[in-house]
Chain A
Amino acid sequence: MLLDAKIPEGKLEDKWRNYQINSQLVNPANKKKLNVIVVGSGLSGAGAAATLAELGYDVQCFCYQDSARRAHSVAAQGGINAAKNYQHDGDSVWRMFFDTLKGGDFRSREANTYRLAELSAPLIDHFTQQGVPFAREYGGVLVNRSFGGVQVQRTFYARGQTGQQLLLAAYSQLYKMIRAKKVRMHTRTEMLDLVVVDGKAKGIIARNLVTGAIERYAADAIVLATGGYSRVFRLSTLAIGCNGSAIWKAHKRGALFAAPSFTQIHPTALPQSSEAQSKLTLMSESLRNDGRIWVPKDKNDNRKANDIPEEERDYYLERRYPSFGNLAPRDIASRAAKERIDAGHGVGRLKNAVYLDFKHAIERLGLETIQDRYGNLFSMYKKITGVDAYKEPMQISPAAHFSMGGLWVDYELMTTIPGLYAVGECNFSDHGANRLGANSLLQASVDGYFILPNTINNYLASEMKTPGISSDHPAFEEVEEEVKEYIERLLSINGTKTVDYFHRELGKVMWQECAMSRNSEGLKKALSRIEEIKEDFWQEVRINGSASQMNPELEKALRLADFIELGILMCTDALQREESCGAHFREEYQTSEGEAVRKDADYAYVSAWEYHSEGFKLHKEVLEFEFVKPTVRSYK
């Protein structure tokens, strides 16, 4: 299979313009005859659906939640990056591009990453116009702050609820187009499979989660905007419903899956407190701007945090990475925390946390400033832990967060199945092996609002000439039958274990062997353990109730069955990549000081996996660095 990324000609700064000049357009009068399905209603999905409808396409949008406004973009707290250089601190599109490429450890495409930075500035204008109440100075201009892994102030924010505010803007634009009757919204509807006709994506099979009805939807193009899949770890910062089913089913129908094992572990979540826990709560890493991270120097120190004097505290990030300190990128900060915790310096009841301390910031800036900057995060912390973090340090811990991997897409955001696009977190592009803070809202938004609406025309212009396919086509019937049989098979197992039992088992293996650090032996063990879990699942899972009703256990089981298979691919990918890069830290490849060793000569490619029932086949998209020279990533 040829992996053509379709990178346009020209200098980096001309590529996007050149693409737009050369791509095909669809006559406005013809657009209404073309229909597009968008699966997912977060920032990328709602942005895409609203914009495609504005362009004149007939759009249907799907989400599993009760309302489009619940999509998990809502939970991103810290902010969104844009190269506006409002602060005159040396920012530029080029610097943002370089920071992002370097932050991702040179495992992403130059052209995509440059375009991300290039489109960031107009995106802020766009959201401001839609009514996002970004933070402002008294005189009325926008405020910026710096954010994990970046030395300039390029992050825009709306208190600690930036994701919520951006999502509400996208959601409101979506409902504007629903009112205009250009979008049909299907809430509480989950895509269960993809229909491919003559090699092109032509529709989806979905389940109405209220009635249980299996429904067919046909379209001229399908856009997947289904977010991340880090719930494969069970405990993660993601919403409980986030799943990988739609992209996994697309993968099984022929879409290549890229960099599956690149999972970002976020350094500032609340620690796990018991086995019964269902998720880990994220504290915004904007807290790292002013908070200082430390552990006691003495691992047997059982004193309360405030009783430990300065000289007996180890500010390990400041010690190891003096120029970035507490702002070190997420992979570095997470791994450094794990290192300290593993060395026995962890704090808290389960010794699995580090301190994030605001004492110095409050002394320096005053309580009021800290309240203004982070007030809602402090009150959230108090609600969950019962602790007042203005008075004693927070306890934080690393947690599975963002999936940099996802469906392989070209420069047009099209997967290897013609007519199937993937936008936002469910594609693999832009972030490489590690995502910088405040780049996820950015990528989701530019994919949905700016890029896809410009690239999809190129495909639809040619689809205009072929007759549309209706959902009566035999291919739909066939896939629908397969979906129904699959569900029946699951329900008929009637075993002795719950879905959550299996999810906990899978999560333990994935967290132990395929998270912050990996090694060959552990990954091989994980692969055989997951095969056992898979076999046991298909013999012992129990789901009560029927498929023709609202059945939350069935929903969970369907998602988990896919997570188990995805877990196998993730470990396969991690095992194959014999180097360390970004979030992928292979213990065999590190310096004597514990820093990652990247092997550019052998691994400067995107791993893109093709599905076969008997195993996965690797394809390589070689990354060519034409404009920058990959350097060793040092934050010292």
Chain B
Amino acid sequence: MKVTFRIWRQENSKSKGRFKEYETEGLNEDMSFLEALDHLNEQLVLQGEEVIAFEYDCREGICGQCGVFIDGRAHGPHRNITTCQLHMRSFKDGDVITVEPWRATAFPVLKDLVVDRSAFDRIIEQGGFITAKTGTAPEANAIPIGKEIADKAMDAAACIGCGACVAACKNASAMLFTSAKINHLNALPQGKPEAYSRTKDMVAQMSLEGFGNCSFTGACEVECPEGISISNISEMNSWFLKAKLFG
């Protein structure tokens, strides 16, 4: 299989980037998209060119590190997957495939396809936790949590922090990510005591980082590898309102 990769090259966060084309042969349809990029990089090494920097780690769809924009979509042509779960069988021989980094002011490009997503960590830092010191926990069954509530918390907690929601949004909004984090903890009895301050602080940090408002297009839910529901955003708004009124 032979394709042309049109890839964003950028030396570092200060330099200007540009697209560069690479004709790549010897691919097969069982290769994951990242393995195809590995293959291209081996070619580049032997040609004396610097490899394309891109991110990955677990390569099984759970670490959230491998996000890139492929042909204008976060994580490529399918819904609800990560880049490492995309395979070359989704492309045709001779295709020209455009690959670029997440584009968002809050995610500066570090090199080529690698962006800095530490803004997400700073949102967590502002309340994405339950204040519980090690050694202070009551017996786990002492606080019953009905299955529906545990499931609801789990649905939100499944977020892998990849940033596809931001990349897919016209406004580069981080509301799906932030709302998933807030709703996971706010749903549980253990998280309730800090629900108002958590919501206010995390939302404030989200704005400070330069993420935009919800664009109401629903693109985030479509591209989210975990299919996190957009209804999380309205729930977060409701928590925010309550926090403003009663918090």
Contact = CB atoms under 8 A, between A and B. Distances in A.
B74 interface: no
A277 B35 contact: yes
**Which of A131, A449, A550 has the largest number of chain B CB atoms within 10 A?**
A131
A175 B63 contact: no
Nearest to A143: B147
Given A161-B62, A544-B48, A544-B49, A67 B121 contact: yes
Given A383-B85, A449-B134, A74 B150 contact: no
A179 B197 CA distance: 14
Contacts of A552: 51, 53
Contacts of B51: 544-545, 552-553
Interface in A40-79: 50-51, 54, 65-70, 72, 74-75
Contact of B30 (A241, A273, A542): A273
A171 B59 contact: no
Interface string B53-69: 10111111111110000
A187 B118 CA distance: 9
19 contacts: A124-B140, A130-B129, A133-B151, A134-B140, A142-B140, A165-B154, A173-B129, A175-B121, A185-B121, A239-B58, A276-B30, A278-B32, A282-B60, A386-B89, A449-B134, A453-B134, A544-B51, A549-B11, A552-B53
Interface in A254-280: 273-274, 276-279
Contacts of B44: 544
Interface string A155-175: 000110100110010011101
B196 to A, nearest CB: 16
B117 A136 contact: no
A550 B115 CA distance: 12
Contacts, number: 215
Range for the number of chain A residues in contact with chain B: 35 or more
Interface of B: 11-12, 28, 30-32, 34-35, 38-39, 41-42, 44-46, 48-51, 53, 55-65, 81, 85, 87, 89, 110-111, 114, 116-118, 120-121, 124-126, 128-141, 143-147, 150-151, 153-154, 157-158, 160-161, 184-185, 188, 190-191
B106 to A, nearest CB: 14
A141 B111 contact: no
B58 A128 contact: no
A128 B190 contact: yes
B164 to A, nearest CB: 15
Interface in A478-516: 496, 498-501
A522 B157 CA distance: 47
Interface string A213-240: 0000000000000000000000000011
B146 A140 contact: yes
Nearest to A282: B60
A351 to B, nearest CB: 16
B228 to A, nearest CB: 13
Contacts of A241: 57
Contact of A172 (B30, B116, B130): B130
A115 to B, nearest CB: 16
Interface of chain B, main secondary structure: loop
Nearest to A384: B85
Contacts of A72: 57-58, 63
Contacts of A158: 154, 157
Interface in A446-465: 449-450, 453
Contacts of B61: 380, 383
A277 to B, nearest CB: 7
A66 B65 contact: yes
B89 to A, nearest CB: 7
Contacts of B81: 383
A129 B130 contact: yes
Interface string A548-571: 011111000000000000000000
A543 to B, nearest CB: 8
Contact of A276 (B11, B28, B132): B28
A126 interface: yes
Nearest to B111: A550
A125 B137 contact: yes
A176 interface: yes
B134 A240 contact: no
B116 A66 contact: yes
Given A70-B57, A276-B28, A449-B134, A550 B114 contact: yes
B146 A69 contact: no
Given A136-B145, A179-B126, A544-B51, A129 B138 contact: yes
A210 interface: yes
Q: Which of B39, B140, B154 has the most CB of A within 10 A?
A: B140
A160 to B, nearest CB: 10
Nearest to A165: B157
A66 B137 contact: no
Nearest to B52: A552
A361 interface: no
Contact of B56 (A135, A240, A501): A240
Contacts of B60: 75, 279, 281-282, 380
A467 interface: no
Nearest to A124: B140
Given A126-B132, A496-B46, 9 more contacts: A141-B141, A161-B62, A165-B157, A175-B125, A176-B125, A239-B63, A278-B34, A383-B85, A550-B111
